[in-house]
Amino acid sequence: MRTGAGQPGCAGSAARSSGSPPAWAAPLTGFLTELTWAGAHALTYVSGIRAERLDPGAGHTAGTPVLLVHGLNDNRSVFMVMRRKLRRSGFASACCWNYSPLSGDIPRLAVDLGRHIGRIRAQTGHERVHVVGHSLGGLIARYHVQRQGGDRTIESLVTLGTPHQGTALALMMPTRLGRQLRPGSSIMRELSEPAPGCRTAITAVYSDADQVVLPTASGRCDHPDLATRNVLVRGVGHLSLPVHPAVHGAVTAALRAYPAAIHRYDADAACSPSALPRRAGERRHHTAGMAA
């Protein structure tokens, strides 16, 4: 036993001597990034209150539109960095949708999302769109895909820190929407029901350092009828997901791969933030770091 107990120390010494960062460096960096982004986002929040106006001619020359959907008590300002990077990556028609959680529950918000997608389709001439949803935004989009026929108009869905299996944090939310976000709620049971023939490819990006999605493994999207792929990023906080370079790499890879993604992914992609863009195309089983 003494030999076994000494092995981690030897490994750690070897790692430090080879120039690898210590084990505490990544969590600390993630925490500091989360604090920095939270402060910056507070300053930019006001700029995102006004709804974005669609450009009727933008989609006719650009590729498939990408619609960005924010989370609870947020607005389009959370995607300020991601939208700029998506446009630089060739997704020129990336746009945002503002909604108010006070306007209804998840099914009603999903109907509103469908109507907004209809407006985008009418103004751009595209039959289908991509959707990237952060937190609650991803759950609204998934509900629309599975329960309201949204798979006819949503080509691919990428969720960031979305509580696909609910979150224990919602136990402290007494509102109707909060009750729907609890593990085992009626909405969660609906989303676990069969969804044969669903045509939307889903990529769920989740983090082992998410402070909102608890347990963090609830950020995975696991359903036998859906073409899903789960991408684990390490050390990235909930608010930092839309701005982190690793997440940008995962989102871009998912949007570019969507024509070949309409088959079921039976594996996980697990990557450190620095390695994710390079390895986003890998499909392999991974179980480490899934639990909170």
**Largest distance between two CA atoms of the chain:** 70
CA neighbor of 111 nearest in space, from 78, 153, 82, 76: 153
Question: Alpha helices, DSSP H only, in 45-70?
Answer: 58-61
Q: Domain residues of the chain, as ranges? A: 24-279
Which helix H or strand E contains 217, and what residues bound it? none
Chain centroid to Cα 111, Å, comes to 20
Q: What are phi and psi of 64, to 5 degrees?
A: -55, 130
Q: What confidence score (pLDDT) does residue 53 get?
A: 61
Residue written as token pair 């999207």: 221
Task: Count Cβ atoms below 10 Å from residue 233 Cβ, excluding itself.
Answer: 30
Residues 98 and 75: beta-carbon distance below 8 Å: yes
Task: Count Cβ atoms below 10 Å from residue 286 Cβ, excluding itself.
Answer: 14
Residues 210 and 219: beta-carbon distance below 8 Å: yes
Q: What confidence score (pLDDT) does residue 275 get?
A: 34
Interatomic CA distance for residues 148 and 132, integer angstroms: 18
Q: What is the CATH number of domain 24-279?
A: 3.40.50.1820
Task: Count Cβ atoms below 10 Å from residue 117 Cβ, excluding itself.
Answer: 21
Residue written as token pair 């529950």: 105
- Helix, strand, or coil (residue 104): coil
Structure tokens at 241: 């997901």
Bridge partners, 50 (sequence order): none
In 3-state terms, the chain is what percent helix, strand and coil (to 5)? 45, 15, 40
Residues 166 and 182: beta-carbon distance below 8 Å: yes
Per-residue pLDDT tens, the chain, 292 aa: give them: 433 444 333 434 344 445 566 655 555 555 666 666 566 665 565 555 566 665 544 544 458 999 999 999 888 899 999 999 999 999 988 999 999 888 789 999 999 999 999 999 999 999 999 999 999 999 999 999 999 999 999 999 999 999 999 999 999 999 999 999 999 999 999 999 999 999 999 999 999 999 999 999 999 999 999 999 999 999 999 999 999 999 999 999 999 986 544 333 333 444 433 333 333 333 333 333 333 2
Interatomic CA distance for residues 184 and 199, integer angstroms: 25
Bridge partners, 96 (sequence order): 68
The pairing of strands 129-134 and 94-97 is unpaired
pLDDT tens sequence across 167-200? 999 999 999 999 999 999 999 999 999 999 999 9
Task: Count Cβ atoms below 10 Å from residue 83 Cβ, excluding itself.
Answer: 20
